[in-house]
Structure 1
Amino acid sequence: MKFSPLLDDMMKALQVLPGVGPKSAQRMAFTLLERERSGGLRLAQLLTRALTEIGHCSQCRTFTEQERCEICQSPKRAESGLLCVVESPADVAAIEHTGQFSGRYFVLMG
């Protein structure tokens, strides 16, 4: 089925997310347009804001809205003397979720 150019562009844009293929993108687009327009507008606003305001910490390179992230600003973390080198901000989130590490991080970003 041929879709309108704007709907087609919307579905292609959704496919930039990992694990989202054409069928999933179509379901998401249709859901947003049929039942969740207000949620879709909120999502669009938050995506715009996040992509504009979230950058990298100047010290460890994880994601933050500030010059330095909360972890790098913490004197307690600095005193630990521990540094964990990770590949991505997702790794920082996973390790932090365990609650077992109390040092600082450095994110290689790739």
Structure 2
Amino acid sequence: MSNFSDMMDYIGLSSGEAAAALNVPEEEILRWCSTSDSPPIQIWQGLVRMLDDIRRSAEEAAKSADLDHLEASDLNRITLSVPGETATEFAGPNRAAKALALATLARVFV
């Protein structure tokens, strides 16, 4: 495993999704995930942009919840609208944005 692989796992991207999103061959993604070879800086910057998009999407999704009528028991059933290009285009980032949004909403009850 590599730091690149850890970041991909955190974002929730498959190697195919990462290749499409970062516009590189999937073989390069697999190499960066399984060796100590580091991708170029523009690839790291692309992942940072994805993380930023996920965070913004999570914030917007949390804001869309009706907090006046939300109870802790609703958290597992709530439907969140996740905006953002990265979060809506790929399943992994969408899940990450929803998880962050739910964590934000759960803080209301702490």
TM-score by length of 2: 0.28
More strand, by proportion: 1
Higher relative contact order (CA 8 A, sep 6+): 2
TM-score by length of 1: 0.28
Query: For the pair shown, which has the larger CA radius of gyration, 1 or 2?
Result: 1
